[in-house]
């Protein structure tokens, strides 16, 4: 059984340029403000899209409720989509006293018998980590008994942030899955997509283009992923980190162990999609592939420009405030700029140092990087005369009070904004929001209240 990941090592990632500035793992709670998800939630985010695996939460049922199906990660898995199920051992006070290992073993047996998954991910939570249940031993015994990977995921909430949890999820996949199976065939253009979760089908916006170029997605961690393919990931020629840098430790270790280089890119907006495709082709180091990729980019950009023409006039002179987290702080900003919209501010509170640097790059010196968006965004809307607020559902009320248009860009969004066609979806949503009369009228006083 692979050793447990060392939290301190993960917080001291040599491949991260901001290593020195890393602080303590936990998000310190502030009264009246949300701290974001826990490490367990982060681990689930990074592994949950494997629809052919069962995701068993070893803890109280409330942990499952906090994390289950929080984002629309799409799958093309033709079998039973197990992410539609919420599996938990439902630890009770009795188990806290007497231990929950037997219950865990029984739960795995039940799942294997009734659902026949390709693998079982077993997530530790605060309670089961504190009472000292030996996840490794139980998973090892279950793996031997049922002949499928049973993966312990050691990311109980108290160890730190959602971001750290995602890294711990990646560590579990690396320790227990990657390199455990050989692919049937290998090609010189095999890649792994790392940190792409296929939320609202984002990756399906650009994977047909990769396919057209002859680039094969050997495995993903974990959007539309399969257990069998991530087991073969060690044979890829390139790791492509899509937006999320949280899995940088995993790609660094894969480079050390299997010699797979990695690049990091985004597929939001025209510029970044084109740059991303070009970067993959160049990293694969084939001159013919680079030439074909450039031709494809030219064709796709011309097609996109044609379709965007009707929106250009409407977006002229429009300003937007962006309040989201992680890589979206700059990747959505880039997409908005591609549509001709000025991004006057973006929230960087829930972003890494490298995301903040990128946000500064995209917004320029005059753009505001909001460290406390909850209190800043309304003032910035007033000061800049912004026409649009793109944020999570909670900020809808700010938009209503300020009588400006609003779009939900967090995981609750229903459409994909990835790739070239995703930019068209974003343009259509922005147009609908700008033309929606409700934002202008909803906060008006009733005539008799004058
Ligand atoms: S912080 Fe702990 S108890 Fe709360 S949801 Fe996360 S794992 Fe469960």
Whole-angstrom distance, CA of residue 307 vs CA of residue 274: 17
Residue bearing the bigger pLDDT, 110 or 20: 110
**Is it the case that residue 302 has pLDDT exceeding 60?**
yes
Residue 265 in 3-state DSSP?
strand
Q: Establish whether residue 156 lines the binding site of ligand 1, counting it when its CB lies within 6 angstroms of any ligand atom.
A: yes
Mean pLDDT over 368-374 rounds to: 93
* Residue 198 alpha carbon to ligand 1 centre in Å: 25
Residue bearing the bigger pLDDT, 126 or 69: 126
**Is it the case that residue 103 has pLDDT exceeding 90?**
yes
Q: Establish whether residue 126 lines the binding site of ligand 1, counting it when its CB lies within 6 angstroms of any ligand atom.
A: yes
**Is it the case that residue 399 has pLDDT exceeding 90?**
yes
Q: Establish whether residue 26 lines the binding site of ligand 1, counting it when its CB lies within 6 angstroms of any ligand atom.
A: no
Residues facing 342 on adjacent strands: 319
Beta strands in 184-315 (DSSP E): 190-194, 216-221, 238-242, 262-265
* Residue 38 alpha carbon to ligand 1 centre in Å: 6
Q: Which of 41, 129, 168 to mutate to test the pocket of ligand 1 (most atoms within 8 A of CB)?
A: 41
Q: Establish whether residue 157 lines the binding site of ligand 1, counting it when its CB lies within 6 angstroms of any ligand atom.
A: yes
Q: What is the pTM of this model?
A: 0.90
pLDDT at 29: 57
Nearest atom in ligand 1 to 41's CA: 6
**Is it the case that residue 349 has pLDDT exceeding 90?**
no
Q: What angle do CA 192, 12, 16 make, to 5 degrees?
A: 50
pLDDT at 414: 83
Residues facing 150 on adjacent strands: 120
Residue bearing the bigger pLDDT, 67 or 127: 127
Q: pLDDT, tens digit, for every residue of 56-95? A: 999 999 999 877 766 778 999 999 999 989 999 999 999 9
Whether residue 248 contacts residue 16, with contact meaning beta carbons closer than 8 Å, is answered with yes
Q: Establish whether residue 159 lines the binding site of ligand 1, counting it when its CB lies within 6 angstroms of any ligand atom.
A: no
Take atom 8 of ligand 1 and give the residue whose Cα is closest.
63
Q: Which long-range contacts (CB under 8 A, 24 or more apart) does 199-202 make?
A: 199/71, 199/72, 199/73, 199/74, 199/223, 199/411, 199/416, 200/72, 200/74, 200/413, 200/414, 200/415, 200/416, 200/417, 201/74, 201/416, 201/418, 202/267, 202/416, 202/417, 202/418, 202/419, 202/422
pLDDT at 27: 55
* Residue 92 alpha carbon to ligand 1 centre in Å: 14
Q: Establish whether residue 63 lines the binding site of ligand 1, counting it when its CB lies within 6 angstroms of any ligand atom.
A: yes
* Residue 124 alpha carbon to ligand 1 centre in Å: 9
pLDDT at 18: 57
Q: pLDDT, tens digit, for every residue of 149-192? A: 999 999 999 999 888 999 999 999 999 999 999 999 999 999 99
Radius of gyration for the alpha carbons in the chain, expressed in angstroms and rounded: 23
Residue of 151, 144, 138, 129 lying closest to 40 (CA atoms):
129
Beta strands in 354-399 (DSSP E): 368-370, 388-391
Question: What percentage of residues in the chain have a pLDDT greater than 70?
Answer: 90
Whether residue 219 contacts residue 236, with contact meaning beta carbons closer than 8 Å, is answered with yes
Phi, psi of 150 (to 5 degrees): -120, 105
Q: Which of 27, 35, 38 to mutate to test the pocket of ligand 1 (most atoms within 8 A of CB)?
A: 38
Q: Establish whether residue 57 lines the binding site of ligand 1, counting it when its CB lies within 6 angstroms of any ligand atom.
A: no
Residue of 47, 329, 1 lying closest to 167 (CA atoms):
47
Phi, psi of 426 (to 5 degrees): -65, -45
Take atom 5 of ligand 1 and give the residue whose Cα is closest.
63
Beta strands in 59-105 (DSSP E): 87-88
pLDDT at 98: 95
Q: Establish whether residue 27 lines the binding site of ligand 1, counting it when its CB lies within 6 angstroms of any ligand atom.
A: no
pLDDT at 327: 84
Q: Establish whether residue 160 lines the binding site of ligand 1, counting it when its CB lies within 6 angstroms of any ligand atom.
A: no
Q: Establish whether residue 125 lines the binding site of ligand 1, counting it when its CB lies within 6 angstroms of any ligand atom.
A: yes
The DSSP element (H or E) to which 53 belongs, if any, is strand 53-58
Sequence-distant (6+) residues with CB within 8 A of 32 are none
Question: What percentage of residues in the chain have a pLDDT greater than 90?
Answer: 78
* Residue 242 alpha carbon to ligand 1 centre in Å: 27
Q: Establish whether residue 165 lines the binding site of ligand 1, counting it when its CB lies within 6 angstroms of any ligand atom.
A: no
Mean pLDDT over 224-238 rounds to: 98
Q: pLDDT, tens digit, for every residue of 23-42? A: 454 555 555 555 568 999 99
Q: Establish whether residue 128 lines the binding site of ligand 1, counting it when its CB lies within 6 angstroms of any ligand atom.
A: no
pLDDT at 206: 97
């Amino acid at each position: 059984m692979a050793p447990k990941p060392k939290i301190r090592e993960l917080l001291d990632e040599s491949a991260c340029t901001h290593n020195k500035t890393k602080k303590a793992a936990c998000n310190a709670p502030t009264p009246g403000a949300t701290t974001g998800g826990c490490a367990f939630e982060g681990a689930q985010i990074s592994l949950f899209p494997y629809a052919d695996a069962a995701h068993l939460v070893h803890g109280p049922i409330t942990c499952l409720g906090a994390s289950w199906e929080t984002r629309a990660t799409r799958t093309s898995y033709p079998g039973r989509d197990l992410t539609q199920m919420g599996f938990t051992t439902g630890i009770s006070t009795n188990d806290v006293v007497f231990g929950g290992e037997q219950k865990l073993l029984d739960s795995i047996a039940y799942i294997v018998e009734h659902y026949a998954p390709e693998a079982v991910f077993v997530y530790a939570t605060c309670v089961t980590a504190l009472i000292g249940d030996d996840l490794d031993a139980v998973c090892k015994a279950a793996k031997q008994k049922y002949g499928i990977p049973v993966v312990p995921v050691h990311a109980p909430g108290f160890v730190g942030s959602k971001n750290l949890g995602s890294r711990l999820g990646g560590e579990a996949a690396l320790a227990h899955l990657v390199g455990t199976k050989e692919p049937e065939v290998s090609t010189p253009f095999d890649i792994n997509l790392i940190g792409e979760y296929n939320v609202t089908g984002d990756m399906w916006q650009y994977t047909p283009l990769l396919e057209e170029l002859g680039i094969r997605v050997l495995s993903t961690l974990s959007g539309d992923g399969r257990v069998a393919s991530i087991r073969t990931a060690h044979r890829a020629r390139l790791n492509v980190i899509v937006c999320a840098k949280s899995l940088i430790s995993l790609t660094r270790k894969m480079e050390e162990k299997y010699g797979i280089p990695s690049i990091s890119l985004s597929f939001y907006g025209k510029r970044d999609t084109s740059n991303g495709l070009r970067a993959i082709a160049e990293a694969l180091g084939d001159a013919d592939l680079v030439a074909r990729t450039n031709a494809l980019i030219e064709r796709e950009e011309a097609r996109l420009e044609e379709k965007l023409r009707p929106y250009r006039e409407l977006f002229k002179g429009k300003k937007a405030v962006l309040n989201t987290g992680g890589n979206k702080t700059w990747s959505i900003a880039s997409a908005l700029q591609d549509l001709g919209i000025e991004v006057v501010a973006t929230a960087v509170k829930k972003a890494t140092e490298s995301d903040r640097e990128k946000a500064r790059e995209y917004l320029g010196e005059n753009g505001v990087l909001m460290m406390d968006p909850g209190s800043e965004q309304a003032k910035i809307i007033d000061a800049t005369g912004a026409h649009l607020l793109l944020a999570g559902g909670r900020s809808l009320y700010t938009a209503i009070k300020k009588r400006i248009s609003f779009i939900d860009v967090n995981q609750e969004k229903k459409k994909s904004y990835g790739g070239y066609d995703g930019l068209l979806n974003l343009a259509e949503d922005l147009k609908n929001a700008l033309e929606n009369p409700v934002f202008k009228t909803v906060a008006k006083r009733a005539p008799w209240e004058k």
